[in-house]
Amino acid sequence: MTIEVDLAAPLRIADLRAAREPITVLAGPEVRDRLTAGRVFLAKVLGDDRAVYGNTTGFGALVGYAGRADQRDQADNTLAHLGAGQGPDLDPALARATLLVRAHSLAQGASGVSPHVVDALAAALGTTFSPAMPRLGSVGASGDLIPLGAAAQALRGRGNAYLYDVRMPAAEALDRAGLTPLPLDGRDALALVNGTSLTTAALALALDRVRTSHRVIQQLTCVLADLLGCDPQFLDAGLLDRYGHCGAIEVATTMRTVLAGTTPSGTRPLQEPYSIRCTPQLLGAAEDALRYVDGVVAADLAGVSDNPMFFPDGDRVVHGGNFFGQPAAFAADLLTNVLAQLGNLAERQLDLLVDPVRNGGLPPMLAAGPGQQHGLQGVQLASTALIAEIRRDVVPAAMQSLPTNLHNQDVVPFGTQAALRALDQSRLLSLITGSLALGLRQAVHVGGRRPTAPGCAAIVDALSEAIAPIDPDRPLDEDVRRAARIVEDLR
């Protein structure tokens, strides 16, 4: 069944996930009335001979010069110089999420955009069409100009696009999808590019993935503790209440539910390593940080990212900086720090699990026949490489400002880089958690006790039903990915 997204309603991260496939985007009477009012007001303003950035002027540092008189030519004036992006294309699923974010922003009627522009975005999202958008070129200020410029050109039938994830000339993709090239004037073209919709989409999808991994690590920590026979007192409610941090209290409550019914073995040390004992504090701090990112994403999805903005009721055209992606930049940097520490935790838990000195006497590397077989040895090596890759890339982007555009953009947030990086690294985090899940499945096979808590046993059962024990050795790359999918789909 095709999912419906109403542009008059709040936009949700789930809508962005759904946009990887064809969706029905509704722009009903409320949206159309807003768009029409904004468009009528723009015509009045231009008729009054008022200065409007991008309609009567050049762009960026050339704002002091007159633009092209013909508004159709002004669209070319807007977009042609932005065709300077480099690097690989963005994932078509991310590009489509970006189109949806842009449509929702424009649909609020403050951009003075033509109704047919929103209609065209909705129509494209109803097919598998996706613009080919270059990864490199945005500084996250004045919007994601270069990648969004490529998207606008693709909607016009210029440049390249994807259909069913196959790259082809945009004009061919439009024709095959049953879409028509989008006509634009100067305001329409500028409104399509002058916002941080790519940054917002990437941040929202990264947050979604990290929240999933955060939940998974809570569950796998419980399985690890149960499998080893740990005493669950590190999750004691009174203990965490005295700690005083809301996130830790909530995480411990969730973990106690998963571990309910566990029976400690009585053979473990009085105090477990930090990778078990301090998990409610670590994962709780992550929860508190993720709540901040939740708020930034919610505001970005609800807000209007554009310049200028039009207020018909007050007869005002307001020029400002609502295309400046600093909130998303700060949030994406924080998200990357969170996911790096989550990756540190999961990788250390895997290290504990394969070490016979600390894993309760299970064979080294969880090999069914050590020496003749090597169990998780390759998986642990890969996990170490994955966390190293994440940690190498944690340097904040939000304060790396460089002036550009003749010092018109003299301070920039680099939110696009921060958000895309967080999305990239969130995928690596999923592979680390998949590696840990695979290790837990193998531990039971080589002599680890079956978890005594029903919630933990259910997780091991789901893994065991889908993944054969590693006996004998085999390539495990697909098993890691399968294990990640299994635990991510559990609730």
Tokens standing for residue 349: 């838990």
Contact 219, 459 (CB under 8 A): yes
Tokens standing for residue 20: 């990887």
**Is 53 tagged catalytic?**
yes
Tokens standing for residue 26: 């509704």
Contacts of 308-315 spanning 24+ positions with Cβ under 8 A = 308/52, 308/53, 308/54, 309/110, 309/111, 310/38, 310/41, 310/42, 310/45, 310/110, 310/111, 310/112, 311/110, 312/37, 312/38, 312/40, 312/41, 315/41
Contact 198, 148 (CB under 8 A): yes
DSSP per position, 229-289: T--GGGG-HHHHHHH--HHHHHHHHHHHHHHTT----S-S-SS--HHHHTHHHHHHHHHHH
Q: What residues does 134 pair with on adjacent strands?
A: 89
Amino acid found at 253: T
How many beta carbons lie within 10 A of that of residue 440, not counting itself? 26
Amino acid found at 185: D
Question: What residues are annotated to the active site?
Answer: 53
